[in-house]
Structure 1
């Protein structure tokens, strides 16, 4: 049976049993920082780096006496740097970290020549982008361009992230990305995922991690990788908080406001956040379509223009607490909620012509939609270490439940001029309820020879229930109205998915080589019911091995090799046959016969001097699903957008990453991605064997300006590329921002402009044997924004030792195991 007593027992056991934080055995790197002939400066930034490639491992501040302590995995080789405004950056020699820890010689900072420039204030902050062995970190909180933006906007400007024609996210040019928010999967795709991320202000985001090679502890979902979004959490002691507000103007206005409140003491942390969005957008479409002749219809061409006005109001909040039950036991509870209402009106004007160019029909339509999305989730987690040692065995448990609602009201009025048909009105009342429950347990234990064993199990239950009632109205006058229920497209749809997973992973290091090998097994049970009848039932078990090998050749060169097998299961929206109308001539719908796609991923990378990375990768995907645009089987000249499976996809990638310090006040993070994408398969009578070489270029410039100002200049370019049957034309964007911190570092002012030259409009062409479509899309992307934020309360940051053992660090590490 798909949902057996074993599954129910495992869910309950996962909720009640503890599980493990996946952390290697750790030890302390400690020391003191001083200044030649001066008292020890407080709050010096001390950073621990990997010796092989200078990647940041952890950063802390010194206390009032100049002391610091950083925790790191035992057995690694590291460097330590120390920096503060007015002093030269200090670098230590490389050292190995034994289980007993390391006490470094006293560090002495030398005054910088820059202190002689009285009008220049150097502001120390994290780099906007950090490159690690298996991921790129986007430090959103430090970006002036984040002011007034949404999380979706930030992702669209991130290196190696692209947004497709249907708002699908792609990582390194590949679709099929798993998005997690604070360690929890976001079960949405396409336009629904885009709307969800647009409702999440970038002001609430601390960082985004673009993970191309996730370990076995992550779900196998996400063939292209994982986008992990981490929200802000205040690190200050006592009672404190922040307020922020921004207003942006494109063609329409965009307001974001909110705040945080936090209370932290030694063993307890209480926190809450709230944000309000009031955004207005427009989208303008131009369609050119060709319909080949059929048995009942002659060949037809059409030209169409659509204009959509959209208004989105969103309230989002999160409250929770972290409690240290004992020195080695941590309990955390959090509740999140998001209420979004989107109203839009789309007007469309379509002209249809015969082969001889004669106008055969003109269809005018107006679609009014009101979409409400109330979402909420609750998380309960427990962590326990069996000893005080950093290398002790650990065990943990997590239980989550999330509820996603979707209510859509439609009123679609259609008027056909040339054929002199009476106006029609289609009304729709759609309601969807999605519940996701997960329970997981994890265990971590050190083994001899600097090796660590990690293992865990997870159960996920998904229940989606969808109801719909479409009614057609005809007639000219109210007295002549005839109402006809559309029972053919109003059948209820129910979807059930259960995934039972377990994994084991080994991490070890020998000399200059580190290895991480994992194996994950997932049993999947699926059932789909349409109109009360089962239309799909599927049960399968699959294994997902993964391997990461890193080798330090010398101080200048390091190599890494990774291999993994992953899967992409269709989301509940991609399988739901409920229709979402754009206008009278097109709608989107799901495909309950859509099969999961599986991929084999291989990558080898080289790092030079800890900065410059070159990565070569290959992925082969079986049964890849892509969006297709085809005439509706209902007849007429209506186009349906739907995901379908092809046979194979071959994907070759070359990625070059170069973080450069052009001058002392100008840093550049340059990213070049070249790839060849090839699709093979058949849809109806159309054979597809198409490949194309493409490239994505990203350049982010950060500047330190006089009088405490900082600036950011971001640009990206995406060349022409293929996506299944679609050919996407080149596009790009330039954004600029400035930032000033004042009022004793409690207030921040930001001013930015996005898509300055308005170069993001998208042109897409789809070709089939008996149908073709080209559309040109323009959106409200050129926006000028002013933002202000203010921090209040206690400014004291928790000491390094306390922070390392605090709830926020444990929860972050737990999120990394999702």
Structure 2
């Protein structure tokens, strides 16, 4: 077995301390140019004159109301907002009060103190004093991303994270469980700022194990700047888990039960203790979900030199039982007013037991039956994972625009154990029964250290720079034993060991400058990559490459109604360990899944032009060129016969054009509609399995989400989405979609929430697709237990007082929640 270490290639990863000094030295000459700031201050009180604590006070540019900075009022209602000189507005809001807007004012070098701000109690919330909980809108369309606030959605109850993503605007989940965004695949998925190193069905299974009750929000970022990893040609999906912000000791419990054809149970507990300089938190969730997958296949085999033309029909029904445990514990310590140290650990352990019953018939060229057999596949799949993070944050001054330094160290391990017993019974010809036993194990370890530095520059500019080192090691082994006529023997042709190692060393620099009408951000990220893929008995594959990833964003406010934004970026998608792993995973006696060790990375150039109308309605035109795009392909196995393998492969080029429209409508005071539509065209070029390809097809997705604020504490939600037929490489899929509805009721003075929902009401989620090659074609239909009715109850206890938000710099935890200063 070959072993690989970065030092062997002449590269020695920088230790964390050197990385910290690297960022400081990189930016020190520029921070000396930082300009003197001025400030606007004031107080916020009620109509009776009582000070209001934790009111949200926001500074806006007077020209276009763009947000410059946000702070919270203190215990005396006072606030202070630092900024460069210019024309501004101030808004103030607090739960239970209406929003206040100040007249426009000029901020000079001497600073400004505003007259006392008085908030008027809202008619809706004044009835219950301050026992009212603010509810964020379900969708927030920001300049560089779309935020889906999952926590308050009635549809999240009893769902999985994959269910929630399938209803998000512009997101698609293919019949093969591949995530897409605005018509493209190749996404970086992160959970609480940590990269999830899984793709395809492995990622889908992981997201099915994570209950939606643990989600706070999901961010969809199509063109991230240089601060983000370059991985993810189609963008980033950032999943943010819940974290209680209330002071004192508090928590929540929840339980829910759903029923489709089979039952689905979820429950969870969260505890938090927060005081001035310390925060201790922990949460746990358990899910017990039963369901099914029903696959029907029709396959056509062309005549070859060894075999005549034939066809086959397969019917698979897989019954699944998933049990998962997820949890997280953490500690944040404020060493000083400007310095925070924290540590956290999280884990997810899932066990899936499944039984797949298969019936297969093979027909000759004249339609006569030539073979008939059945198989039963019993599979036990265990996937425990653990992760730990140590972070440090320091601001060099009290100002929100001060220089900041952060550092993070992360380690995570994902383990997989797959036990298989595949029994095959032959009716025609009458062979004796056969058993294929499989024992497969995988250990994936990820280690990373990173540091980020941020500092103000003259002329309303800000500098950000940093470095990151990541190391991934994946050890895999599988042993298959064949049993026939009472004799068992290891099959060495499909039993093996595979090791994959990846080392990525990255550094970035980014500058952002804002004026009253324009924002310009330019960045450059450099990544040096070393990989090794080694299979016992085969030659090791080493790859070493250095790549630059420039990015730029220009936003311009034309007038009070119209604004434009243009962004360009270069991105990369490195094959994951699973996509490279050649070891097999059988689903039935005639089909298996395997990786491709010859898979190459794909790179893309992306350009987006966005028009904003009234800061609400957006229209985005996108073009992307992807070189060596990675697509999932169904092919005849190299073993010969009628065995079929599903593996990823590279094509030559993919061109994608898309037009996305996002429109929120307030149809009534109690009814909000968020509509989203994406029209796209993808053209694929290349050759695979001796079959040339050059084709494209227009496609579109539509999504509409209705939110209803009803009386007596009731709210409701109605969601519908539709995915037209599309072409993806050699696969042509048919249209599908779903409609879901839910209601929720606040109980016990808003300490409890009762939710009831139904997903896929009309059962329109089953998918159909066809793949065609010169010597083989396959059509299939797949259906799951997606039509489910769920009821759940959540109860919150403890102190309801919310802590003021602390100014934190961006590190691994917040890596994908970054907003412009």
Above 0.5 in TM-score? yes
Residue equivalent to 2:713: 708
The 1:117–1:375 alpha-carbon spacing in structure 2 relative to 1, beyond 3 Å, is closer
Structure 2: how far apart are the matches of 1:384 and 1:244?
36
How many angstroms does 1:69 deviate by? 4.0
Q: For residue 463 of structure 2, what is the aligned residue in structure 1? A: 453
**How many Å separate the matches in 2 of 1:76 and 1:599?**
40
CA distance in 2, matches of 1:288, 1:102: 74
Is 2:14 aligned against 1:10? Answer: yes
1:242 is matched with: 252
Shift of 1:91: 3.8
- With over 3 angstroms needed to count, the CA separation of the structure-2 counterparts of 1:532 and 1:12, relative to structure 1, is farther
The equivalent residue for 1:438 is 448
Secondary structure in structure 2 of the residue aligned to 1:804: coil
SS in 1 for 2:686: strand
1:500 aligns with 2:502: no
| CA distance 1:457–1:59, shift in 2 (3 Å) | closer
Is structure 2 residue 258 aligned with structure 1 residue 253?
no
Shift of residue 536, structure 1, vs aligned partner: 1.1
1:655 maps to which of 660, 671, 693: 660
* Pair 453,40 (structure 1): closer, same or farther in 2 beyond 3 Å: closer
Q: Residues 352 and 382 from structure 1, CA distance in 2 versus in 1: closer, same or farther, beyond 3 angstroms?
A: same
Q: Distance in 1 between matches of 2:155 and 2:38?
A: 37
Return the offset for 1:284: 0.6
Q: Is the contact made by 1:252 and 1:280 (CA closer than 8 Å) also made in structure 2?
A: yes
* Mean CA deviation greater in 640-649 or 315-324: 315-324
Aligned residue number for residue 158 of structure 1: 168
- Residue 735 in structure 1 maps to residue 737 in structure 2: no
Q: Is the 8 A contact 1:122 1:708 kept in 2?
A: no
Q: Please give the per-residue CA displacement for 1:209-232, whole angstroms capped at 9, x wherever unaligned.
A: 101111101110000000111111
1:206 equivalenced with 2:206 (yes/no) = no
- CA drift of 1:684 comes to 2.2
Question: Deviation of residue 36 (structure 1)?
Answer: 5.1
For residue 488 of structure 1, give the secondary structure of its aligned residue in structure 2. Answer: coil
1:404 maps to 414
Please state how far the C-alpha of 1:358 moved relative to its aligned partner.
0.6
Deviation at 1:746?
1.2
* Matching of residues 744-759 of structure 1 within 5 Å: 744-759=749-764
In the alignment, what sits opposite 1:299? 309
d(CA) in 1 for partners of 2:87, 2:424 = 69
Is the alpha carbon distance of 1:731 and 1:326 closer, same or farther for their aligned partners in structure 2, counting shifts above 3 Å?
Answer: same
Match of 1:169 in 2: 179
The corresponding residue for 1:582 is 587
- Given the alignment, which residue of 630, 644, 647 partners 2:649? 644
Which one of 781, 787, 809 corresponds to residue 782 of structure 1?
A: 787
Three-state SS of the structure 2 residue aligned to 1:590 is coil
- Distance in 1 (CA, whole Å) between partners of 2:752 and 2:38 is 37
Report the number of matched residues: 806
Instruction: Identify the residue that residue 621 of structure 2 maps to in structure 1.
Output: 616
- Rounded to whole Å, the distance in 1 between the matches of 2:534 and 2:426 is 36
| Cα distance in 1 for residues equivalent to 2:351 and 2:44 | 53
In structure 1, what is the Cα distance between the partners aligned to 2:198 and 2:103? 47
1:489 paired residue number: 494
Give the structure 2 partner of residue 478 of structure 1.
none
Distance 1:509 1:572 in 2: 41
TM-score, normalised relative to structure 1: 0.93
Deviation at 1:240, TM superposition (A): 1.0
2:339 match: 329
In the alignment, the residues of structure 2 paired with residue 53 and residue 277 of structure 1 have an alpha-carbon distance, to the nearest angstrom, of: 47
Matching residue of 1:390: 400
Q: Which residue of 2 aligns with 1:224?
A: 234
1:762 aligned residue (763, 767, 771): 767
- Rounded to whole Å, the distance in 1 between the matches of 2:370 and 2:274 is 71
Residue by residue over 1:587-631, the C-alpha shift from the partner in whole angstroms, topping out at 9 and shown as x without a partner, is 110001100000000011110111111110100000001000011
Contiguous gaps of at least 5 residues in structure 1: 476-480
Q: Which moved more, 1:630-639 or 1:388-397?
A: 388-397
Q: CA deviation at 1:13?
A: 3.7
Q: Is the 8 A contact 1:123 1:704 kept in 2?
A: no
Give runs of aligned pairs for residues 256-275 of structure 1, distance below 5 A: 256-275=266-285
The CA deviation at 1:351 is 1.2
Q: Which residue of the partner structure matches residue 804 of structure 1?
A: 806
1:722 aligns with 2:732: no
Hey, what does 2:196 align to over in structure 1?
A: 186
Secondary structure in structure 2 of the residue aligned to 1:141 = coil
Match of 1:377 among 366, 387, 391: 387
Which of 531, 540, 553 in structure 1 is aligned with 2:536? Answer: 531
> Which residue does the alignment assign to 2:376?
366
Alpha-carbon distance in structure 2 between the residues aligned to 1:759 and 1:73 = 53
Change (3 A) 1:95 1:350: farther
1:354 is displaced (CA, Å) by: 1.1
Aligned-pair distance for 1:663? 0.6
Return the alpha-carbon distance in structure 1 between the equivalents of residues 733 and 478 of structure 2.
Answer: 34
By how many angstroms is 1:412 displaced?
0.6
Equivalent residue for 1:319? 329
- In 2, distance between residues paired with 1:387 and 1:242? 36
| Cα deviation, residue 739, structure 1 | 1.1
**d(CA) in 2 for partners of 1:58, 1:749:** 36
The answer on whether the counterparts of 2:54 and 2:72 sit within 8 Å (CA) in structure 1 is: yes
Deviations 1:116-167 (A, max 9, x none): 999xx99741100001111000111121111111111111100011001221
- How far is 1:339 from its partner? 1.1
1:264 & 1:297 partners in 2: Cα distance?
71
In structure 2, the gaps of 5 or more residues are none
Residues 627-642 of structure 1: pairs in structure 2 closer than 5 A = 627-642=632-647
Partner of 2:597: 592
Query: d(CA) in 1 for partners of 2:125 and 2:748?
Result: 21
Deviates more, 1:133-142 or 1:529-538: 529-538
Give distance in 2, aligned partners of 1:384 and 1:88. Answer: 35
SS of residue paired to 2:163: helix
CA distance in 1, matches of 2:214, 2:22: 30
CA contact (8 A) 1:214 1:226 kept: yes
User: What is the deviation of 1:110?
Assistant: 5.2
CA positional deviation for 1:699: 0.6
**Which shifted more, 88-97 or 263-272?**
88-97
Provide the rounded CA distance (Å) in 2 between the counterparts of 1:28 and 1:733.
Answer: 51
2:483 alignment counterpart: 473
CA distance in 1, matches of 2:162, 2:231: 21
Query: Is 2:357 the partner of 1:340?
Result: no
Are the counterparts in 2 of residues 15 and 399 from structure 1 also a CA contact under 8 Å? Answer: no
